[in-house]
Amino acid sequence: MRESIIMKIHYGTAVAAVALVAVHILFRFTLGFAESLEYENVIANYQFLPYAGMLEIILILISIHGFNGLRVVLLELKQGSQYEKSVNYGCLGAMALVILYGSRTIFMTNMGMM
Amino acid sequence: MAAESLQISNEESGTIVSSTKTITLRIARSNPKKNTEQKFDEFKIPYQKWTTVLDAILEVKKHLDHSVAVRYSCRQASCGSCGMKINGRPALACFTKITELNSDVVTVEPMNNFPIIRDLVVGFERMFSNHKKIKPYIINEESEINPGTKEFLQTPEDVEKYIQFSNCIKCGLCNSACPTMATDSSFVGPQALAQAYRYVADNRDKGKDERLKIIDDSHGIFRCHFAGSCSQVCPKGVDPAMGIQLLRGYLLGFRD
Amino acid sequence: MPNIDENKEGIKGMANPTRYGIERFAYLLMRLSGLGLLVYFVVHIYETSMILQGKVGWDEFLEITQTTEGHIILALVIGMSVFHTVNGIRVMLGHGGIGVGKPARPDYPYPAQSQNAKHKISIYSAIVLAAIAMMYGIGVMFGD
């Protein structure tokens, strides 16, 4: 993939994530910070489908943006085709792992499988 | 002569010894062909308000240690030969006066991000090869050199769009200050990127797509993070950071 | 001993923000806040998975995070997020060629148009907003 396409995705995920994370944080203030983190309230959040969907989107957006950012930093630190290949695939793998792990939490909690 | 302070003798000195003010000039010495150890030699140099760092180095070469290696030519910021790190910041030695440094000690070192040839002289091979990579010439099939073609006409407004970037003297200061170049050996660098914009912005040129393709790789234009250090050290007002961002605007779809 | 191959400044030079003004400082903060937020994000994904261990697991996790140290870390995360967002918008617009000035014949002493007041004000604003958000966050977390 051309670097300009990757960076367009990088900027796009950033803008979208900012908007959605703002909503995510606002949810912490609906009941007061400590109260919003109580088990029952958190479960209620997860089981509210639009909110769970939003969490999933945030998870994907930040994973893409964050791990691409890490890839950029690592590519600039050291060069070499083997190293660069490892960084590219390593970051892609780490991104996929985090998305899978986070999705598991969202999905299972949403379905009441705790 | 390591760390030894030397004075210019009155008999040998030129005109600037009449000055009562002196600075300590610390010159980084290294010769990679013999060993890689860098050391600093110190010299006490008298100066006037017009004395440049290059004048001071040449005074050392003339009277104290002629083995100091320094590259220079025009002495007026036109040739781009005498770029070096002066008190930690890349600058042209001929364009930096001792008085403007506000320091009793002036340390000169070879520019970073370039291989050292000897002492203050660095190799420009990589910078020139990156410069060539972006095709620094007008690409146009209807070239003036073809028989039957006319000269290209440009309005003053057309010239304003690129003239700033054509002031580049290839001194390498921007590449030396760039934070990406500090770690990334494959990065094309601010000098070449600004020159890519110089030709893309020229309305006689038809090579925009070709150049954008060259710089759109994993060590191309997107490794610039707009820290702007290149523009802060440019001695000719080229403002490479501006050129790079304007060039990137084409790739991001902000410009046609 | 300098690396004679290219005499690169290395990470120390890249991370030294003292020589090239506030823009270079913003570059460093952007990078550090980005890495910090990525670490927090991964930890956050792990910590929220504690919900799968039921009420006991979740409460045990809250006992660890809802502490003074936990709140200080969260306050830092708030600061990093705000700086990274505000400065990120500045950088993104800059990358598109917006607000970087218009090419013109330069005059001595050649002030760089791309390093203009708009950018400097944006960087200072990002720092101030991050500090305000951190203080607000501390107020909310320690106020509860």
Structural domains of chain A, ranges and CATH numbers in brackets = 3-110 (1.20.1300.10)
Neighbours of chain C (3+ CB pairs under 8 A): A, B
User: Whole-number mean pLDDT of chain C?
Assistant: 93
Q: Is the pLDDT reported for residue C106 higher than 60?
A: yes
A77 interface with C at CB cutoff 8 Å: yes
| B179, B208 Cβ separation under 8 angstroms | no
Place of tokens 């090869």: B129
The predicted structure's pLDDT at residue B18? 57
- CA angle at residue A69 from A66 to A74, to 5 degrees? 125
Considering only CB atoms, which chain B residues are within 8 Å of C5? 115
Chain C interface mutation, best of A45, A105, A113, highest count of C Cβ atoms under 10 Å:
A105
Considering only CB atoms, which chain B residues are within 8 Å of A72? 222-223
How many beta-carbon pairs below 8 A join chains A and C? Answer: 65
| B237, B202 Cβ separation under 8 angstroms | no
Q: For residues B176 and A75, what is the distance between their CA atoms, to the nearest angstrom?
A: 19
C55 interface with A at CB cutoff 8 Å: yes
Q: For residues C15 and C27, what is the distance between their CA atoms, to the nearest angstrom?
A: 9
CATH superfamily of the domain spanning B124-252: Alpha-helical ferredoxin (1.10.1060.10)
- Among the residues of chain B, which ranges form H helices? 53-59, 125-133, 156-160, 173-177, 190-200, 208-215, 229-233, 240-252
Closest CB to A84 among B187, B218, B221: B218
**Which helix (H) or strand (E) covers residue A76, if one does?**
helix A49-77
CB within 8 Å: A69 and C34: yes
A11 interface with C at CB cutoff 8 Å: yes
| B8, B46 Cβ separation under 8 angstroms | yes
- Write down the ipTM of this complex: 0.94
Task: Provide CATH code, domain B15-121.
Answer: 3.10.20.30
**What is the location of CATH 3.10.20.30 in chain B?**
15-121
Burial (0-12, 13-18, 19+ Cβ within 10 Å), B41: buried
For residue A54, give both structure tokens: 């939003």
Chain A interface mutation, best of C14, C35, C38, highest count of A Cβ atoms under 10 Å:
C38
Considering only CB atoms, which chain B residues are within 8 Å of C118? none
Q: Does domain C18-98+112-143 have CATH number 1.20.1260.10?
A: no
Q: Own/partner pairs for A5-13, CB < 8 Å, 24+ apart?
A: A6/A68, A6/B222, A7/B222, A7/B252, A8/B252, A8/B253, A9/A64, A9/A68, A10/A64, A10/A65, A10/A68, A10/A69, A11/B252, A11/C92, A11/C95, A13/A61, A13/A62, A13/A64, A13/A65, A13/A68
The predicted structure's pLDDT at residue B1? 44
Q: Is the pLDDT reported for residue C1 higher than 90?
A: no
Q: Is the pLDDT reported for residue C3 higher than 80?
A: no
A8-39, pLDDT tens digit by residue? Answer: 999 999 999 999 999 999 888 777 888 889 99
**What is the location of CATH 1.10.1060.10 in chain B?**
124-252
Mean pLDDT, residues A56-62 = 98
The share of chain A scoring above pLDDT 90, in percent, equals 85
Letter for the amino acid at C136? Y
Considering only CB atoms, which chain A residues are within 8 Å of C88? 14
B9-67, pLDDT tens digit by residue? Answer: 555 555 555 567 999 999 999 999 887 689 999 999 999 999 999 999 999 999 999 99
How many beta-carbon pairs below 8 A join chains A and B? Answer: 37
The predicted structure's pLDDT at residue B3? 46
pTM as predicted: 0.92
Taking the CA atoms of residue C38, residue C39, residue C42 and residue C48 in that order, the dihedral angle to the nearest 10 degrees is: -110
Q: Is the pLDDT reported for residue C2 higher than 50?
A: no
Q: Is the pLDDT reported for residue C4 higher than 70?
A: no
Closest CB to A70 among C38, C53, C54: C38
Using the 8-state DSSP alphabet, how is residue B62 labeled? Answer: I
CB within 8 Å: C95 and B226: yes
Nearest-Cα residue of chain B relative to residue A9? B252
Point out which residues pair with B121 in neighbouring strands. B118
Q: For residues A72 and B219, what is the distance between their CA atoms, to the nearest angstrom?
A: 10
Closest CB to B239 among C4, C31, C112: C112
Q: For residues C142 and A97, what is the distance between their CA atoms, to the nearest angstrom?
A: 34
Q: For residues B244 and C72, what is the distance between their CA atoms, to the nearest angstrom?
A: 39
| B166, B241 Cβ separation under 8 angstroms | no
The predicted structure's pLDDT at residue B156? 95
> What parts of chain B have a pLDDT lower than 50?
1-3
Considering only CB atoms, which chain A residues are within 8 Å of C81? 21
